[in-house]
Each structure stands twice: as structure tokens, then as C-alpha cells.
């Protein structure tokens, strides 16, 4: 019986992989909301950025245009934070957070990763598909952005969430001297592939890339659809416990469909796993002298908490903080969780002499 079930499962996987590799790519067709869903979207509050927030574009070395923004207090702030959103996230989710950090005296910069938010898409005909073969591209993008746009003489602290944490850590190792500290929320050092065997996923992604199918979604992935229908509900199993923040991405995606990002493509997935192995084994990561703070969520379905512990534990100046009762989307958690994380940011800055001597006149 067990052998029969295993053979059936393997057959389904092989059939899925065969279809994935041979079936033509579907034409792009956006998900369309119904009237009931639109009614919830219309009343959901998306906090605005501070009044002094301004956005513009940065052009990478390969000509890709990235949207970024900043507050106006670069010359008086205690330090410069560079917010790097997570996978599929957009800067527009973080207006409230930028305001809170601005009031704590920080100069806040933030950048949409390539293919996300309002940054340029790799495939205009299929804009929800991310396509990055080598995550060194993300690392180089962030390093170049900081070098060109961060204020001279300021202490620069990349503030990375999930994928953004992965990119910030990789950048700090690839480009020494670019950052003065790292502040990482549930960093995606290693992805949690759930019920799918990670080795099998890697083999399928590698085969797809070798056959010129790297731009396709992996089996089971597709264009964006909402994660829930009731905006009054929130719980760790949905990624965060605060209803007023949990649904920000879905609301923004509905109001501004051009910001949508879908599931994992083959080349992107392989690139993430290759980069994860690099972070786990890199001497450059283990020897980073920077002050680093990493947070772990208790209910974690997206990244491997053991990898966070292992990498942080191998670094000379890394502090890992567990947040009980939280889930992966830490920036969409409760007021108390956000305050706790931002208090830890202040503590890291103060303990390591990262604040401007004048302390930036908080407020």
C-alpha cells in the first residue's frame, strides 16, 4: 500500500514536471476582483508616507530603473536606514513604518527591488514574473544604490525584511564597507519549501533552466491572487496577527495592479537556493565585523529559522532575537511588536556608536 502511494505521488510529480517543461506559457491575464472584494478594498486604510517623503528613480549598471524614496532629514538624522522589502513586497506598504522611524530621528531611504513595486519589470509582457538568475544582481543593485544615493558621512544601516534581509546580508559580504550595520527581520537566509522536497525543487528548477524554461513558474506557482477574502481576520497562519496591516499588499495590488508579483519562477527559485548555500558557507559572511540584529518569528512557514540561528551564531557581532507569538510578516504585526523591534534598532545604534554625535534632534 505504501509503495503504491509513493509510486502514485512520484508519477504525479513527474507528470507535473513534464507539463511544466513542455506546455506553452499562458498569456498574461490579471486576476479581477468582484464587487464584494472591491468594497473591502475601498475602505481599507493604507497609511501615507510622511509629508517630506519624495520618490525618484535609480538606474542600475545594466540600465534597470528602480523606484526609491527618502525623507528630507539626511543632514540631521542620527543614522540612515535603507529599507529593502521582502519577496513581492512594495514600498507602498510601509508609509506608516517610515513615519515611525522618521519620528525616532532616522533618515529613511527605501528601494523597490527589481521586478517589484514600481521598479522596472524583466518581462513587460508577463510583468508578474520575477527573473533573476544570479542573486548577485540584487546584491550589486543595492550596493550601487547606496554608493550613489546615501548621504556622505552617515552611518548606513540596511533594514531588510525576508528576501530583503537575504539581499542585505549578501550585499554586506559582497561589498565590504557599504554598510555600517544590518537590521534584518526574518531574513530569508534559507527558504522553507514546506511539503516540497528542496532537492527535488532544485533539480526541477535546474532542469528547466538548462532547457531554456527558466522564466516559467515552478509547478504550483502562478500569477497573483488574493490570500484571503475577509480583511477583518488575522492570525499567524495568515503571516501576521494585525488585521490593519496584514492585508496591505493585497489592497495595494488590487488598487494598483501594475505592482503585482506572482509566484516563483524556475531561474529565480534556483538563484535563491544557490545564494542561500553561499550565505550559509561563506567565510565573508561569517567574518563580517558589522553589528547585526536578526529577528525570528515563532510561527515561520517561509524561511528556515535554524539557518538564521546558524548564520547569526557564526558571526562575531550578531544578536538574534525571537519574537513569541509572531509570524513571518513582522512589519505587519501588532503595534507592540513593531515598537519592540524599533526599540532594538535604537539599542543597536546606541550600543555601537552608530548615531550622529548631535543625535539628530528626534522628532
- Pair 92, 256: CB distance under 8 Å: yes
**25-351 — its CATH code?**
3.40.50.1820
Give the separation between CA 158 and CA 164, rounded to whole angstroms.
Answer: 9
Give the separation between CA 214 and CA 265, rounded to whole angstroms.
Answer: 7
Domain boundaries, the chain: 25-351
Q: What's the pLDDT at 26?
A: 83
Q: What's the pLDDT at 328?
A: 98
CA 301 to chain centre: 14
CA-based torsion, 231, 237, 241, 246: positive or negative: negative
- Pair 214, 267: CB distance under 8 Å: yes
Whole-model pTM over 0.85: yes
Largest CA distance in the chain: 72
pLDDT in tens, the chain (363 residues): 434 433 444 444 554 555 555 668 888 999 999 999 999 999 999 999 999 999 999 999 999 999 999 999 999 999 999 999 999 999 999 999 999 999 999 999 999 999 999 999 999 999 999 999 899 999 999 999 999 999 999 999 999 999 999 999 999 999 999 999 999 999 999 999 888 889 999 999 999 999 999 999 998 899 999 989 999 999 999 999 999 999 999 999 999 999 999 999 999 999 999 999 999 999 999 999 999 999 999 999 999 999 999 999 999 999 999 999 999 999 999 999 999 999 999 999 999 999 987 544 444
Give the separation between CA 32 and CA 41, rounded to whole angstroms.
Answer: 13
> Which among 137, 5, 170 is positioned nearest to 60, based on CA atoms?
137
Give the separation between CA 27 and CA 25, rounded to whole angstroms.
Answer: 7
Q: What's the pLDDT at 2?
A: 38
> Which among 293, 285, 277 is positioned nearest to 344, based on CA atoms?
293
> Which among 158, 162, 152 is positioned nearest to 171, based on CA atoms?
158
Q: HEC profile for the chain? A: CHHHHHHHHHHHHHHHHHHHHHCCCCCCCCCCCCHHHHHHHHHCCCCCCCCCCEEEEEECCCCCEEEEEECCCCCCCCCEEEEECCCCCCHHHCHHHHHHHHHCCCEEEEECCCCCCCCCCCCCCCCCCCCCCCCHHHHHHHHHHHHHHCCCCCCEEEEEECHHHHHHHHHHHHCCCCCCCEEEECCCCCECCCCCCHHHHHHHHHHHHHCCCCCCECCCCCCCCCCCCCCCCCEHHHCECCHHHHCHHHHHHHHCHHHCCCCCEHHHHHHHHHHHHHHHHCHHHHCCCCCEEEEEEEECCCECHHHHHHHHHHCCCEEEEEEEEEECCHHHCCHHHHHHHHHHHHHHHHHCCCCCCCCCCCC
Give the separation between CA 267 and CA 176, rounded to whole angstroms.
Answer: 27
Q: What's the pLDDT at 195?
A: 84
Residue 37 burial class via C-beta count within 10 angstroms: exposed 0-12, middle 13-18, buried 19 and up: middle
Q: What's the pLDDT at 24?
A: 80
Residue 341 burial class via C-beta count within 10 angstroms: exposed 0-12, middle 13-18, buried 19 and up: buried
What are residue 108's DSSP bridge partners?
Answer: 81
Q: What's the pLDDT at 234?
A: 95
Give the separation between CA 111 and CA 1, rounded to whole angstroms.
Answer: 53
Give the separation between CA 199 and CA 212, rounded to whole angstroms.
Answer: 20
Q: What's the pLDDT at 10?
A: 45
- Pair 265, 216: CB distance under 8 Å: yes
Q: Which residues contact 155 (CB under 8 A, 6 or more apart)?
A: 79, 80, 180, 181, 349, 354, 355, 356
**Grid cell in block for residue 65:** 530603473
CA 96 to chain centre: 17
Amino acid at each position: 500500500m505504501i509503495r503504491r502511494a509513493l509510486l502514485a505521488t512520484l508519477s504525479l510529480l513527474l507528470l507535473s514536471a513534464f507539463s511544466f517543461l513542455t506546455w506553452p506559457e499562458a498569456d498574461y491575464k490579471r486576476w479581477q476582483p468582484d464587487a464584494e472584494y472591491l468594497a473591502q478594498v475601498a475602505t481599507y486604510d493604507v497609511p501615507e508616507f510622511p509629508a517630506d517623503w519624495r520618490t525618484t528613480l535609480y538606474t542600475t549598471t545594466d540600465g534597470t530603473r528602480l523606484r526609491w524614496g527618502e525623507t528630507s532629514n539626511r543632514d540631521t538624522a542620527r543614522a540612515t536606514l535603507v529599507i529593502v522589502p521582502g519577496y513581492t513586497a512594495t514600498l507602498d506598504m510601509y508609509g506608516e513604518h517610515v513615519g515611525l522611524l522618521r519620528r525616532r530621528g532616522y533618515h529613511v531611504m527605501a528601494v523597490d527591488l527589481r521586478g517589484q513595486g514600481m521598479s522596472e519589470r524583466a518581462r513587460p509582457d508577463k510583468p508578474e514574473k520575477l527573473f533573476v538568475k544570479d542573486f548577485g544582481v540584487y546584491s550589486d543593485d543595492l550596493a550601487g544604490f547606496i554608493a550613489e544615493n546615501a548621504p556622505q558621512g552617515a552611518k548606513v544601516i540596511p533594514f531588510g525584511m525576508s528576501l530583503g534581509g537575504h539581499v542585505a546580508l549578501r550585499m554586506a559580504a559582497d561589498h565590504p564597507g557599504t554598510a555600517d550595520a544590518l537590521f534584518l527581520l526574518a531574513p530569508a537566509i534559507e527558504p522553507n519549501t514546506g511539503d516540497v522536497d528542496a532537492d527535488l525543487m532544485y533539480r526541477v528548477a535546474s532542469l528547466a533552466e538548462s532547457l531554456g524554461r527558466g522564466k516559467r513558474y515552478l509547478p504550483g506557482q502562478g500569477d497573483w491572487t488574493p490570500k484571503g477574502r475577509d480583511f477583518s481576520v488575522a492570525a499567524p497562519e495568515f503571516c501576521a496577527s494585525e488585521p490593519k496591516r496584514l492585508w496591505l499588499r493585497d489592497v495595494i495590488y488590487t488598487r494598483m495592479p501594475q505592482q503585482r508579483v506572482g509566484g516563483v519562477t524556475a531561474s529565480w527559485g534556483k538563484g535563491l537556493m544557490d545564494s542561500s548555500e553561499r550565505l550559509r558557507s561563506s567565510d565573508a559572511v561569517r567574518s563580517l565585523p558589522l553589528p547585526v540584529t536578526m529577528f525570528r518569528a515563532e510561527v515561520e512557514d517561509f524561511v528556515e529559522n535554524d539557518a538564521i540561528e546558524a548564520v547569526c551564531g557564526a558571526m562575531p557581532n550578531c544578536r538574534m532575537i525571537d519574537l513569541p507569538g509572531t509570524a513571518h510578516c513582522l512589519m505587519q504585526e501588532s503595534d507592540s511588536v513593531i515598537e519592540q523591534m524599533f526599540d532594538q534598532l535604537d539599542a543597536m545604534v546606541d550600543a555601537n556608536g552608530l548615531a550622529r554625535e548631535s543625535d539628530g534632534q528626534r522628532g
